[in-house]
Structure 1
């Protein structure tokens, strides 16, 4: 749980520090080439979800993010027994907390705040550090789930096919 909390705090802090730097040193809409043409800083405020979808429904994203953060923190973190799950869920919590902080405390109002995005890749979305934590964590979670690794470290094995009713019906086979 210490690793999970540390990763979550790291994600939240890095996200908020980078956003504070962007807001204090750039004007909205400003573009700065960092590694042209691969990387630019492009300061925008996003009221929607990924790719600015759902603008006008900021309050829905606020509720969803709060619910995800509470579910992971209350229901899942106490079950973690292996470090890959600790990293993945900690990163998810940190990323969600970073964007939720924007939704709660940035303009235009509490619960309707716009998320600061600034990392621009060519022909792709504009995102932030919290988004990076969320995406990397979700990739890790998918890999853990596909490998059958449970939160407690147990390997989820396929159901034994020798049990009655546990496999394909053999009576229809030649």
Structure 2
């Protein structure tokens, strides 16, 4: 199997995402939020029917199919292409985010969010969202590290 890093990062990301969401639902749903750093960072249970920053609120039906499409496209990319290590990490993390949030959308009709930076008023998010952002960062670093593609022809 090629692109083992993609699958390792992706499966690990989905697993951690689902475990943390289950914990959040069991621990945070029946009770109040947990103030890890009062006034700065809390764990707050939220059911998000939209996408990032609650965009497209109440669009869970559409978003579940978008998640599935992204996950399938990235899996096909990993199966059919030879990816650099940065690409494997980046696409694997984005895949993990799409699958993790997609599972929520298909099973529940919403995504469980619980990381809450109260101090700056940042929207509540989850580990799948973190994976997507880290994945994009890896892809940018990979582009920067790789630089422009060099020609295979020797210059005269």
Matches of 1:74 and 1:17, distance apart in 2: 26
Decide which of 110, 116, 121 is 1:114's aligned counterpart.
Answer: 110
Corresponding residue to 2:132 among 131, 134, 153: 134
| Corresponding residue SS for 1:116 | strand
TM-score normalised according to structure 2 size: 0.85
Question: Which residue in 2 is equivalent to 1:102?
Answer: 104
Pairwise CA RMSD: 2.3
Choose between structure 1 and 2: higher helix proportion: 2
Secondary structure at the counterpart of residue 45 of structure 2: strand
CA separation of 1:75 and 1:82: change in aligned 2, threshold 3 A? closer
Q: Which residue of 1 aligns with 2:20?
A: 18
Q: Tell me the TM-score normalized by structure 1.
A: 0.77
Q: Please say if residues 29 and 44 of structure 1, whose CA atoms lie closer than 8 Å, have aligned partners that are also in contact.
A: no
Give how far 1:29 is off: 8.1
Query: Which protein is bigger by CA-based radius of gyration?
Result: 1
- List 4+ stretches of structure 1 deviating above 4 A: 146-149
Aligned twin of 2:89: 87
Structure 2 unaligned regions, length at least 5: 152-156
Higher relative contact order (CA 8 A, sep 6+): 2
Structure 2 equivalent of residue 168 of structure 1: none
Q: Is the 8 A contact 2:5 2:88 kept in 1?
A: yes
Aligned residues: 149
Residue 94 of structure 1, CA deviation: 0.9
SS in 2 for 1:124: coil
